[in-house]
Every structure is written in C-alpha cells, then in structure tokens.
Structure 1
Amino acid sequence: MQRSKISFAVCTALLCSAAQAKTDTSFLNLDNVTVITSSIDSESDTTQSNDVILQDEIRSINAQNVTDVFKYSPNVEVTGGPSGDVKSISIRGLGQDHANVTIDGARQTYSHSKRGSWAINPNLLKSATVTNGTSSGAAAGAVKLEFISAYDLLKPDASFGALVNSGFRSNNNQQDLSATIYGLNNGFDWLLSASDSSHDPYSIGGGYQRDGKDSYYKTGGENQSYLFKSGYDLSPSEYIGLSVYMDNSEWDQVRQDYGYNTRDYTSAVLNYSNQGSNSDFLDFNANVYINQVDTYTREYTDETKATTSDTQKIADDSYGFMLTNNSLLNGPFEETLLHYGLSGHFTTHDGEVGTLDNGSWVDESAQSEPSAKSHQLASWLNAQMLLGNGFTLIPSLRYDEFYVESSNAEFEGEALLRDGRTENQLSTGLRLNQEINEKLNLFVAYDEALTAPGLSELFTSGRGFKPNPNLKSERSQNKEIGFTFNSGSVITHDDNLLAKINVFQNDIKDYIGTDYTDPAYKDGVKVNRDEIRLRGGEILTQYRYENWDVSASYGMTIGEDLTTGEYLSDMPSDKFVVSIENQLSDEWRLSGKATHALKRHRVPTTQIDRNGDTVTIPEDERQSVSAWTTVDLYAEYIPAQLQDMTLSMSVSNLFDEAYALQNNSRADTKAEYYEEGRSLNIDLSYNF
C-alpha cells in the first residue's frame, strides 16, 4: 500500500514517528487532537504525554494480563484485583470508565466491578498505547490496543509461517501455550491464533502466612483465546481488513461475594482505509464493529465452593462505527490539515439475577442487575495549522451526546429511567506547539470533554452496589504545558538524551466518585461531586550510548474535592521507575526495572454519613497505602545458530516485597488484596 501525501504532512506538522498498523511507516490518529505517537524511546519529538509498549517488550516482561503491560507507565495505576481477571487501570487518577478504550479500532465500554474490564490476551498484542490527559471525548485520556497481524510475523519474502509459544510462571504455576499460523498471497494477508492459559492462586511476598496460607484462593483462573485477522489490498492505496477475537475466561468472584464467573467475549471489527495517494483531500478510514460479553456467575456460600441456586446471567452487547478523514489545504498558512469524523457507540445491558423457589425462577433483576441501553454519538473537527517559525496551532471542536434508558430498573419501588435521559456538550480545545530549535519543543493545551457514566455506575454491576440513575456526565477542562528536549552528542559524539516534562491541571464538574455511607450496600454507591481538581505531571528521561539504554520516569497526581477541601481517595501513589538495558551481543539482551511508589498519604479524613453529617474517618479505615519498592530482571536469548527461537526469562519482584496497590480495610487478610511475590518466569517461542 502506498502512503498518501497527507500522512507525510501530518508527520511533518507534529514531528511524529508512530508505526501504522499494516505498514512500517508513520501516521497519526488524531481523534479529537489526541496525538497517538510513539513512546519515550522513539524518534518522536512530540510533547504529548503517552507511552507505547510494543510487542517485544510485552513479551519480555511476561505480562500476565493487559494491566501488567501498563504497570511501568508514568501516572498509570493498576486498580481492582486481586485477581488479574478483574483488574483495570486508572490514568492520572481517573479510572478506565473515564478513558476512550479501543481494540483494533473498536471502542470498548465493558467495565464492571467484580466481572472485569479486560478480556484480552497480552501475548496477541502488537502494541498497547496509553495517552494521558483529556482527549477523544474522555477526561482520563485514551487507551489503544492493536492485535498482531501476518505482516508483524512474516519473514522477508516469505508467504507462510507459524509461531508456537510456551510460557511458565513459578509463583502461581501459570502455564501458557499458543499456536499461530499466518500467510500472505497476492495482497491477501491472514492470521489464525489459539492460546490457552491457566494459573493457580498466587502467593504474596514477604513470607506472609495466616492460618498456614500465603495466598488467596480467588486469584486463580484460566482462559482460552482465539484471534483471526485478515486483510486485502484493494488497490495500492486501499485496504480492507477483518479482525475477530474471542476469549473465554473463568475465575472466582472477588471481594466479599462468593461465586465463580465465566465470561465469553467476542469482538469483530471490519475496517476500510483509502489513503488517496494522489489526493490532498482524501485520507479516509472507516470501521464498524460488534462486541459481545456474556457473563454467568454461580453463587456459593464459602471458599469450599458449595454451590447454591443463586445465579447471575449478564449480557453486555455493543456495536458502533467510526468515520474519519484528513484533508490537506495549502493556505492561508504554510499548510493546514483538517481532521474530521463521526462515531457512534450503542450498548445494551441485559441482566437476569434470581433464585429458584420451589422449582420456579424468582427474577430479582430490577433490584440487582437491571436491563438498560445507551448510546454515545460524537462528531469533531480539528485544524492543524503550520504558522511558520516553528509554530503549529491546533484548534478543535467536538460534539458529544449521551442517552440512557432502562426497561425494568427500580429502587425501593420507584421505576428508574423509563423515559430515558439525554446529555450533550459542545467541547472546544486549543493546542500550540512551538519548535524553538532542533532540540527543544514547547507545547501548551486546553481541552474540554464530556465523559458519560457507564451502565455499571448508573445501576449496579453486581449485588452490593446501591444504584444511582441520577448520575450526570462529567465535564472536564484540562490545562497542560510541556516540553521535549532531544539532543545527540551530549557527552560523547554517539550518545543521545531525550527528556519530556508535562504539567497539568484538570478541573472536573460532576466528577463520579464512590461513597460508602450506607452500611446496607457494602460496595458503595456512585455519586457526583460538584467540582474536583486533579493536578500533577510526568517526567521522562532516556539516555542512550552504544548498547546501553537508561531511562527514568516519575508520575504524580493530586486529587482534591474543591467543595469539601478533602483529598480524593482514588488517586495513584507517586511513582518512580528506573530502567537499564544492555544489548550484550547479537544473542543476549539484559534489562532491569526498579519501581518505587511513595506512601499514599493524601487521603480523605472525613466523609458524609447517611444522615448527611460530616464525620471523621477512623485512622485505620483511611485509604492510606504504604510505600513499596520492586525490582524486576529480564533476559532475552536468541541463539546465533537458531535465530527463529527466542527465550525470554525474568524474575519479577526479585526481593519478594509484600506490597499493595490499594488499601482494603474491609479485607480479612493481606492475601486478599496484596500483590504477587517473587516469581521466576520463562517464555519460549519458535517462529518458522
């Protein structure tokens, strides 16, 4: 496929170097001025705060799940748990529900406490990108996942290949096995992959024992994944592709409930692109997609897993589309790039919860898991204007609409959202990039976004939550400034230093948080807070010399409720990450990562009780989290005589640190929410 003039213009305007899905060339996805470029270790000079994790790194860190892929990213926190099947991430203190998440271009809104947010096998990913900051109609930012294709695995001049992979993790006896075949013929590429993974409960670090146990039985599980991906070159500039992914997972329901979850996830995406290589006005991309998530929970009374008759049957289905185009204009400035598009995302949530009474089904869905539907529509127009003298101006305009209704939801006898509810907003944005010289670039930005509540927040997402159908959408205003410094020959003639600093302040009206003021609902209720402020930033540095690569990052987010003056409880710990890598030879690559999280002491000290009174939170119930440090070591070996084989080895949590990412004062033991202790991990792959 040829590349359009517009692709070159976009990269020139914003100094990008991101890899396009099928080709090894540069392109930008500019949905609402989210600059999806490459990470700190790329040739990019953009000041956008983001992190791109590519396939080789995902494999080398032996990621257990998708959240593990992002655990080193600055200002990204792993939340949920302790089971990896129910973990998610937060970006700058905002949970995954506050982000625009796409997988191969399909938007994902499935995110339910106790039932997980991800159904993705990280070993099938080509790349994972997280972008911090208000963008793409979301207050937190964007997460973009992309599956591998035949183009990523085929050897030069080959038309067929196969990949087998086997992995083992010592701490939880995790065993992974996958097989992939792929090919390319006359412009038609295809890939078919199947994988299986199972793991026992993991042991936490520090030699912790309680009642002779150092693990929590709910952290075991298994899953099977299947990926089919194909495409065809309709012409040198046109491409049509299909991606189908299926995953079946089983795990114990976490927190204070007893149950065994089974989840079937299916995603299908059909995409079309026309880069119009001879036209300045055509660089068109379109996709349509379907996501289906079916979850079935068998309830039991205790950890002996004695099954009762209680069941939960949940179906989350969504479909949608996205249409975008780029047009390049010459004048009145040096160059102007217009990026515009439309998107729609439609969701239905069908719940069936009940018990068997004398052989008859008693439906309790209206109280515990109601049926509902929603849609999110958006349109946007961005103009990127080269003003001369190194200035690029990017004004933006975006319209979002959110609608939700329920056919059977009720609370305390009152019907909820029968007639539906609509919210909308016209959001504006303005960004200015200044290339001061060939080494230094400056960036300032203002962005607005409307972030709609998820169905799981409006209703329940499982028993134990108090529904709040009156939740309003969040309205965020993010201000940000940053710079990038990129220079060679800093100490010697063949080294390079790259540094990025971003500072932000995100003011959010009607922020969606959680209150635990009603003891009848142990999992709390989602509420709107009048106005909150998030502030902080990221610092990233990288130094390269010959075969050495040293990088360091720091992320901090402070969240405050401007009405009460209290800190917010959901903010991440301040985190440092230092990484050292050395390519010892053509066969051996060694690296190590050290992560240090400071004590999370900025936590609320008071709360509003069910009577509306302000009460002090007992010190032992506050959400403070102790400081912790982990060290992970990695090695990769590719034999000179057998270069089709790759052996990846790692030791995670080398010093067996006992640590928690979040405080759970309601847990009976540390094992219920502490993270995995030391583990020896091995991954062996053969590509032939």
Structure 2
Amino acid sequence: MQNHPNQACVTRCSVLALAVWGALLSPAYATDTSQLDEVLVQASRDNTSLVQSKRSVALVTRQQLDEQQPYSVADALEYQPNIEVGGGPRGSNQQPIIRGLTGGRVLQLVDGSRQNFNSGHRGTYQLDPELLEQIDVIKGPASSLWGSGAIGGVVAQTTRDARDMLKPGQLLGGYVKQGVGSAADRNSTSAALYGQLNEQVDMLINGYYQDQNDTRLGNDESLANSSERGTGGMIKLGWQLDESRRLTLSHRYSKTIGSVPGNPATNVGSSSPLIDRESSDGSTVLGYQLNPESELVDLDVTLYRNKTEADEFRIAKQQHDSTQYRTLGLNLVNRSKLDWGKLTYGVDAFQDKSQGHREGASRPAPADGRTEVVGGFVQADLPLAEAWVLSPALRYDHFQTEAENLDDSRRSESELSRSLALSWQATDWLQLIARYDEAFRAPTSEELYTSGTHFSMGPMGSNIFVPNPELRPETASNKELIARAAFDGVMAEDDSLKLGASLFENDVEDFIEQQVSRFETTYNNVNDAELKGGELTIDYDWQDLSLGLSYGRTRGKDKKSDRALEGIPADKWVASAGYWLWDNQLKLGARMTYTDSVSFEGENNSERYDGYTLLDLGARWYGRGAVDGLELGLVVDNLTDSYYRRAFNELYEPGRNIKLNALYRF
C-alpha cells in the first residue's frame, strides 16, 4: 500500500496551518488533560492512570462523550491516532480499526465482561454510548492481560454508576435528555434515575430510545436502507458492605431493528440481499471488590453472562434466519504491593456457545459450537533503580472447542503469552518505554465449523462451505518504543505542554481468512503480516485554552509475498482546540481531520481512495442559578458537507450533520 497525497508537503502544511488557525478561532471539545491524568485505564487491570500506563493507550471520558455526541463506540474513538471507523456508515455495523486490525482481532469488554459475539456481517458493538462513563483502549497486542482476541488491542467500556452521577450530599437525582441530528432526521431520547437508597445501597436506572431515517450523504443523495430504530437500558445496584467491600449487580439490554443489506457495509445487490434484521443483546454482571487496609489485597471478581441474538428475514425469498451466541465467564484479579515491587495476577475462564437456524435449501449452516477457555496471568512491576522499572508478564491459556453437529470435531490447545516492558524516567519531564508483547486469537466456531452451501451457481452446481477444524490460532508479537515528555511554564507561567510518540512493529502469523474457490469455501491460515507505524500527540494548555495535534500512520504487508495488505487505514492528522468562556459556563470548539489518499496494488486488483479534510464544530453551555442542571449542546460534523469515504470502504459517509441536544439534571 502506498499513500500519495498530491503535493504532499504543501498540502499537509496548508491543512495543518488552516486547522490550527481555525481551532484558534473556534476552539473544540478539549477536556482538561490534568483531569485525564487521574482517570484509571480499566483495560490495564493494574489500576494505573493514563499518565502512569506503560502501554499506548487512548481514553474518552463522559464529558467528551457529551460534547461529541457519538452514535457508536467506534464513532467516539475516531479522533484518536491510529484508530479508524470500520464497517461503513451504518451505526449498528461500525467497529474500530486499531493499527490496521479489527473485528475479532480487537477484544471488547464491558465492565470487565468479554463481548465475544462475532458472526458473519453482523455488528459486534451492541452498547450505545449513552450508557457509558468512559471508553479506554490499549493499542497493540495485550494477551498477557486478557488472553484470546487482543491481537490488535482492547476496547474497554465502563458503564455509568450512581455514585459517579450523584452530587456531594445528594440522595436522589436524575436527568432527561433529548437530541436530534439532521443528516438522518435522527431522534434520540434518554433518561436516568439514580440515588442512594440508604447508607449502603445505591441504584441507577437508565434507558434510551432512538430512531432515524436513511442517512443523507455529502452529494445530497441518501444511503438506502440505513434507517433503524434502537431501544435499550440498564439497571445497576451497588451495595457497600463496609469500607473495604463493595458488591455490584447490573443488567443491560439493547435492541436494534432495521432493514439492511445482508452485508451492511455494502449496498443491496444479488450477493447482499435486503433483510429485516432485529438484533438484541443482554448482559448480567455481578462484581465484587475487596480493598482492605492491606498492601497485599486489592481484589476484583467479576461473574458475567452475555446473550446476543440476531433474527433476520430475507425479504425476496421469504426465509427466516436466527443466530444465538452466549458467553458465560468469570474474572478474578488481585494487586499486591510488596517491598520489592507490585504484582498483578489473576485467573479468567469463559465459555462461548453458538447456534443458529436457516430456512431454505442451499444455505450455509451456522455452527452449533462450543468453546471453553481457562487462563491465568501474572505481571510484576520491579523497580531496578530510582529511575528504572522492569515489568515482565506471563499468561497461560488452555482452550478446547467442538461442534455438536460435526463428528470428530473436538480439539484442544494451549498458548503462552509473554510481555516485557522497561521504563526509564530519564528526567522529571521525560519518560522512555521499550516493550515487547505477544497475543493470540483462537479460531471462532464460524471459522472452524461452518458447513452447507455458500451460494448457488445454477446449472453448474453450488459452492460449498468446507469445515476446517484444524485451523491454527492467529499469533502476534509486537515491539514498541514509547516516549512521553511534559513541560510547565513553556510560554507562560501557568501553561503546560505534553508530547507523546510511539513506534511499533507488530508481526501477525497464521492470519485466518475466508478463501473461495470455484466449488468450495473454507477458512484457512493464509499469510503472515507485518504491521508497522507510529503515533504522535501534542497537547498544550493555558488557562481556558487547550490545543491538540495528533498523527497516526500504519503500514502493512504480507511477509511471504512482500505485497501490501489490503484494508490498512490511511494516514490521519487531527488538529483540535477548546476554549472556555463566561467563567467555564460555555465551551466552544473545532476539530479538523486530514486523511491522506490511498493507492493499493493487489495481485488481481488495484484501488484508489481519495484523501479528505473534515471540519467539526461544537459548543456546550452549562446553566447556573435558576437554570442550574440545564445543558445545551450543538455539534456540527462535516461542516463543509464533504462527499467522502474512508479507505477500503464501499459506502460513502454522512454529509453535514447538525446535532442538537438538551439535557436537564435534577
């Protein structure tokens, strides 16, 4: 893959100059970076904050979600370097691409519970951002912490909690919120009620409803079959047993209904017929925290059950399909502080079950499969000297899988995942980190066991799915260098400047891909990939002004043929700023995104995707006095109404989208 911006240097410099100038005139959604420093990165499992993490991480807080008003989790992450939105513009089908990897190669968590649903062209991110308190991301392999699936990274979603929403001294509260969006005539309504039932018990009830018509694109045409309706909610109970023990129980549910192509990343066609789809997702999580006055015990235990269902009706052929996926799991992690360092260790176990039914002849049969995984891990932080910390980690996973509808399909395998990081606090303003991480992804039931007819070729016969229970797990090894610098008093006594940079090389072996020959379709381990790239971030804060600049770049090639990998996102620059007015009552802002063009030369095809520049504006007002609790928000995405599509996407993205929302807290 090659990126070919026209007059690259001149164009990039012009765009960046315009971005910074526009940001100064119309500052953006910037959250105080000193506040972000204190937020825990839940995906790290060791209770480190953003500034303490020894990994490449990204974080989106509730305040940023309120200011951005994203329609999906992937949408909420789109401004982060080396994170792109994949799956096309239909929100229920979107998912993040992290350093060139997506889908089952990115592990997603909600309150510590694994979201393992992955089936065909169906969306995998079922949770609406309205229910979230924060999203944090580990970029790069992280199986030493989480086991299977974390080859590209981890997206950890943390839901809202009554304790976070209650003001000091408040016993009962709530909010109602109404939002509209112009690009698809989107309407969204949400509300929550939360309170302290007594000195020990708190409760949160949250729900939402949203609907939209077909999405308008930048050329004033509409994306057919993109309308949908969604509902969902959550109830969460917390019981503070004493000062050191807390128990939480939550249940959330969501449902999305719409008529979409069989592959929502495309338009309706002969290979992607129109279907009525109803997707539902439910999850119950029981959590226990124990943190006594002991350096040896800081324990989290999580028991969870997830169930995802997709009911579909092929309109043309009047055929009904159903797919069910269930995950039952247990996590236990403890952190101990010792005289010679810190230990983070635990065990995880989960079981996935998939089954489905499809009407009609010549249809692929969903796997009736089961996978069981048990793993244990340990990570140490060992101070070697005053400025050096060595952090080794090791994890062992054993998994077994079988399909009840296939004879002799039972198999088992074990994997070791290692990690090693060396951190050097070179000065009080400079930190350097070198790390090595391994990861693996076990094959899914669909990849191992799908059988039946893929498609009919008329008088010539049919193309048949051939199961491949001998698939090997995908494995990855990543080498990375990270540098962070922080300065105070750069141009004024009370300003701060923070710089971050990383370089990585991720080698992924035994990529699993679907291969289609004339009469057969099967999943095979087909190539070994090399993914290389880097990220750069600059953040400047002075009084009520915040400025930011980031850059992300990933390159990928097949190590066997030396050919570029298809699907690697384009280089991306993001310039942003934020400014508070009226004694922190009004926040104004803008973000400008510049993405390079991409040219791809494959073995049998060549593709080109034009670069694009997007300008997003925003403002949020916080009421005081007689209107205390009232918040009004305005976001304008794609102000210039650009007609654009992301690299390797078939569909174009929404045009100008004016999002208005009003929220009242009581």
TM-score by length of 2: 0.87
Alignment of 1:244-643 (within 5 A): 244-253=251-260, 254=264, 255=266, 256-277=272-293, 279-301=294-316, 308-331=317-340, 336-355=341-360, 367-408=364-405, 418-459=408-449, 466=465, 469=468, 470-515=470-515, 517-518=516-517, 526-585=523-582, 586-601=584-599, 603-606=600-603, 617-619=604-606, 622=607, 624-641=608-625, 642-643=627-628
Change (3 A) 1:525 1:203: farther
Output the CA distance in 2 between the equivalents of 1:468 and 1:554: 42
Of the three residues 101, 111, 121, the one matched with 1:104 is: 111
Alpha-carbon separation, structure 2, partners of 1:73 and 1:468: 38
Q: What percent of counterpart residues are identical?
A: 25
In the superposition, relative to structure 1, how do residues 397 and 663 fare at CA in structure 2: closer, same or farther (>3 Å)?
closer
* Residue 159 in structure 1 maps to residue 175 in structure 2: no
Matched to 1:193, the amino acid is N
Check 1:79–1:153 CA distance in 2 against 1; reply closer, same or farther (3 A cut).
Answer: same
Q: Describe the shift of the 1:490–1:266 C-alpha distance in structure 2 as closer, same or farther (beyond 3 A).
A: same
Secondary structure in structure 1 of the residue aligned to 2:296: coil
Query: 1:453: Cα distance to partner?
Result: 2.4
Alignment of 1:224-243 (within 5 A): 224-243=231-250
- The answer to whether the 8 Å contact 1:36/1:131 transfers is no
Give the Cα separation in 1 of the matches to 2:573 and 2:48. 24
Q: CA–CA distance in 2 between the matches of 1:62 and 1:69?
A: 8
Partner of 1:182: 194
- Structure 1 residues 25 and 97, CA gap change in structure 2 (3 angstroms): closer
Residue 17 of structure 1, CA deviation: 8.9
* Alpha-carbon distance, 1:513 to partner: 3.8
Q: Does 1:121 align with 2:128?
A: yes
Matched AA of 2:598: R
CA–CA distance in 1 between the matches of 2:442 and 2:640?
Answer: 42
Q: Mean Cα displacement is larger for which, 154-163 or 451-460?
A: 451-460
State the match for 1:680 in structure 2.
Answer: 658
8 Å Cα contact 2:290-2:298 kept in structure 1: yes
Q: CA–CA distance in 2 between the matches of 1:98 and 1:25?
A: 26
SS of the residue corresponding to residue 215 of structure 2 reads coil
SS in 1 for 2:225: helix
Alignment-mate amino acid for residue 322 of structure 1: N
Separation in 2 of the partners of 1:393 and 1:535?
A: 25
Task: Please state how far the C-alpha of 1:28 moved relative to its aligned partner.
Answer: 6.5
For residues 579 and 237 of structure 1, do their structure 2 counterparts lie closer, same or farther at Cα, with a shift above 3 Å needed? same
162, 165, 170: which one aligns with 1:150: 162
What pairs with 1:60-99 in structure 2 (closer than 5 Å)? 60-99=67-106
Distance, in Å, in 2 between the alignment partners of 1:216 and 1:27 is: 37
CA contact (8 A) 2:549 2:573 kept: yes
CA distance in structure 2 between the aligned counterparts of 1:251 and 1:425, rounded to whole angstroms: 40
Output the amino acid matched with 2:401: V
1:627 maps to a residue whose letter is G
For structure 2, list consecutive stretches of 5 or more residues without a partner in the other structure.
1-32, 267-271, 456-463
Distance 1:238 1:598 in 2: 51
> Aligned partners of 2:36 and 2:617: how far apart in 1?
28
Secondary structure of the 2:254 match is strand
Residue identity in the other structure for 1:189: D
1:428–1:618: structure 2 CA closer, same or farther, 3 Å change rule? Answer: closer
Provide Cα deviations, 1:8-39, integer angstroms capped at 9, x if missing partner. Answer: xxxxxxxx99989xxx88686644x7x8643x
| 8 Å contact kept, 1:46–1:441 | no
Confirm or deny: 8 A CA contact 1:458 1:467 kept in the other structure.
Answer: no
Match of 1:655 in 2: 640
Q: Which residue of 2 aligns with 1:9?
A: none
Task: Assess, with a 3 A threshold, how the Cα gap between structure 1 residues 675 and 525 changes in structure 2: closer, same or farther.
Answer: farther
SS in 2 for 1:57: helix
Compute the displacement of 1:460 (Å): 5.2
Residues matched between the structures, number: 607
CA distance in 1, matches of 2:596, 2:383: 42
In structure 1, the partner of 2:215 is: 202
Structure 2: distance between partners of 1:680 and 1:84: 16
Instruction: Give the drift of 1:419.
Output: 3.0
State the shift of 1:56 in Å.
Answer: 1.2
Q: What is the Cα-based RMSD across aligned positions, in Å?
A: 2.3
Contact 1:18 1:26 in 2 (8 A): no
Cα distance, 1:88–1:312 mapped onto 2, change above 3 Å: same
The change in CA–CA distance for 1:576 and 1:123 in structure 2 (over 3 A counts) is same
Pick aligned residue for 1:55 from 62, 79, 82: 62
1:314 and 1:502 map into 2 onto residues whose CA distance is 41
The letter for the 1-side match of 2:502 is: N
CA distance in structure 2 between the partners assigned to 1:84 and 1:520 by the alignment: 34
Residue 437 of structure 1 and its aligned partner are, at CA, apart by 1.1
Q: Matches of 2:501 and 2:41 in 1, distance apart?
A: 23
What is the alpha-carbon distance in structure 2 between the residues aligned to residue 533 and residue 618 of structure 1? 21
After superposition, give the CA deviation of every residue in 1:136-165 in whole Å (9 maximum; x if it has no partner). Answer: 332111110011111122122010011101
Q: Contact between 1:650 and 1:681, CA under 8 Å: does it hold in 2?
A: yes
> Per the alignment, do residues 519 and 59 of structure 1 end up closer, same or farther by CA in structure 2, a change over 3 Å counting?
farther
Task: State the alpha-carbon separation in 2 of the partners of residues 27 and 171 from structure 1.
Answer: 34
Distance in 1 (CA, whole Å) between partners of 2:534 and 2:661 is 35
Distance (whole Å) between structure 1 residues aligned to residue 640 and residue 523 of structure 2: 38
Corresponding residue SS for 1:59: helix
How far did residue 47 of structure 1 move?
5.0
Contact preservation (8 Å) 1:45, 1:484: no
Deviation of the 1:389 alpha carbon: 2.2
- 2:517 and 2:512 mapped to 1: Cα distance? 17
Change (3 A) 1:520 1:646: farther
Deviation per residue, 1:525-548 (Å, 9 max, x gap): 643234211110111110111111
User: What CA deviation, in whole Å up to 9, does each residue of 1:526-573 have, x standing for no partner?
Assistant: 432342111101111101111110011111111110101111112111
Flag structure 1 segments of 5+ consecutive residues without an equivalent.
1-15, 39-43, 208-213, 302-307, 356-361, 410-414, 607-616, 668-672
Distance 2:465 2:641 in 1: 38
Q: Name whichever of 106-115 and 178-187 sits farther off.
A: 106-115
Q: 1:633 touches 1:651 (CA, 8 Å); kept in 2? A: yes
TM-score between both structures, scaled by the size of structure 1: 0.84
